[in-house]
Structure 1
Amino acid sequence: MNKFKYYFILLLAGISLVSCNKNDDDDVVTVPLRDYTVQYKADNDSIIKFLKTNYIESVTADFDIKISKIPAGGTQTSVWDQQTYPLQSRDVYSNDVTYKVYYLSLRQGLGSSPTNTDKIVASYTGNLLNGTVFDSSYGLPGTFNLFPYANEGAVIEGWSEIFPKFKTGTSTTDPASGVISYQDYGAGVMFLPSGLAYYESGSGSIPAYTPIMFSFKLFDLQRMDNEYSISSSTGGRVFLGDGVPDYLEDLNGDGYLYDFRDKTKYPNPPAGLVDDTDGDGIADFVDFDDDGDGFTTLFEITKPTGEAGVRRYYPWDPTPDNPLTPNTDETELKGIPRRPTGALADPTKPESSTNVKAYLLEDYTANPRLRIHLDKTYPIKQN
């Protein structure tokens, strides 16, 4: 086909597409966004129907799963009813809807669980409910960012909600080839309503408003520190962190952190999901001053000159030396301290910003303890 014919066909196609989106008055028709609650009901009905009319045909030793439709008159046990890999669910609040998201745990994994703001190393295959494969990593691990406001590598919301229910594995590196192998990793299948996937936009061969499923394996994770500012020149996010990784700012310990300043997405957040020490409406994991005392978290956890360890900031808990780095001693015997409990510099005067108490070893190691970046009473402000 010569170039002229090619461009002519494209022109005709463009005219056709525009024509399909205009009314008789030659005005562009804007299709209203579907109501999230109504669409969720339709998606949930489709997912439940799929789970009750399909069965797990096989699961390999590497946890590759094949799910097939139960034939007419078939006696196979449905995904919904089988007990080998019991169907589980998680409630997810988003767009003022509480979604029930179903997932299968083929193996939970033996390592650590990511939060919904960490980076992960995973492989995946994505299917429509009719069995069509729309995407796959072909078993190869890739790096993905679960934080929805990440500048790059961010994933759909459903991934951020289900991956924290699994754990990573362990890895070994072949010294000759450098190839990394993973063992004991988490593996599962998630069934996502469109409101936690691509919703009205669709993606590639995924139509708009379509529930989808992913089989996946979780190999590894990278802990993130996601405090950010907005660039005055570009308007983009500049990630700076506050010295405390997100997973350690998860106050309720549920593995999930949310930025509820987004009132469009979260108009009525459940109180149990809030991780906000000072109650200023900014969750600790994106708050540069977690306790609202006027001192940044980074300032409060910065180590005095001469403190042991290679890091500039206190770890959350004492850190041992890393045997994989024989030329560097990472040993730190102290975690982030609480308000000091030792003797005053001048016992004849009251405690103040110029007459402070000495830190005792137990101020750095006692467990539990209220760390200074969460203690609104310390450091003491200048009189």
Structure 2
Amino acid sequence: MHIRQKIRRVLTAVTAVLSLATGVVAVSASSATAAGPNLLPLTISNTSHRSDALYLYVLGTDLNTGKLGYVNSSGVFSAWPPGANPPGLAPDVAIKGPGNGSSTTVKIPKMLSGRVYLSFGQKLKFSLAPGGLVQPAPWAGSDPNRDILFDWSEFTYDNAGLFINSSQVDMFSVPHTVGLTNGAGENKEAGRLKPNGRENIFNALQKQPGFSKLVQKRRDGTKLRVLAPGKGLETGLLKPNYLDGYLTNAWNTYKSRPLTVVPFEADPGKKFTGRTGGDGVLRFTDASGKTVASFGKPSTRDVFNCDGRLGAPNDQVVGPIARTLCAALHRSTLGYLHTQPTYDGRRFYQQRVTDHYSKAVHDQMVDGKAYGFAFDDVGHFESLVHDGNPRSARITLTAF
């Protein structure tokens, strides 16, 4: 499994829904020490054209100790105090962000994995329970952050260097890019929207039958966010059987023809062949003919959450096949293109029933790359940058 895929999967797994966030655990590509500084400068630039006050939070897991905590602007990590039951408010650890047209630089200590939250107008409300930090979950009606305009980026800075990505796995809200400069002076960037891209995403989902309820607004008319389909399912905003007809057709397709999965781009000779049996189970065999993985027809929820019957263990067979299937189902290529994954993004989202949320987000990215779902890194379509020798990092809030 590609290192980016492993890290992204872990980051996704700790997103708080109505439960406790357990922290982010990085998976290093190498035990060799990366050349980056012990404290990596991260510059947040505000070109949003908004006059609201901006607040920043750097939260995550100390990978040396496993403790959950927060970082101040100087890069000093502090563990959270013990939580309570019921959860009590966490300490206010907001860092004052830059006004429009300005920048602020904070430090990220090596061996930290977590999130940078950015909120406009109001500070976010975090709480602590015995299991850890309860992070914002605005898809839940009772969440105190429901009417706050905010977003986050995810990162891991460890001995493999810096991995940083913008994320739309749970929602799309504040347009921003992520980037870094390495020791050779090379700049890398991801997550840049096309002009008027935010408005186009909101409009596309508002007009899409079955998806319009995913758009959340404040009473004053402010467009806050568009929820990802998985979050819409949790709150009854999307039909729980939305994909069911497509899933039946896809599984039935492989009763009469084989499906070839080649999950490792660097190892095209490693192939698995899938066929659907009379019991509706899609079974995969390896080159020797041995059955190595089996998948019952997933539900709409399984697909949008990349879990359940599409759960992907961190191994070298079942997990990579599951990831490939989940990506193909989001992109509505399974059942139509019989070798997966497909690397031609022009073939994605072409069916009437598809992940219109991810389609809208990808359509509005300058480079076509985003994290519209957990396994959007299959085929390298994710909005992530990585370098083993970072010298500085940046998050830029773009105009909206």
Normalising by structure 2, we get a TM-score of 0.23
Normalising by structure 1, we get a TM-score of 0.24
Structure showing greater radius of gyration is: 1
* Structure with the larger RCO, 1 or 2 (CA within 8 Å, 6+ apart): 2
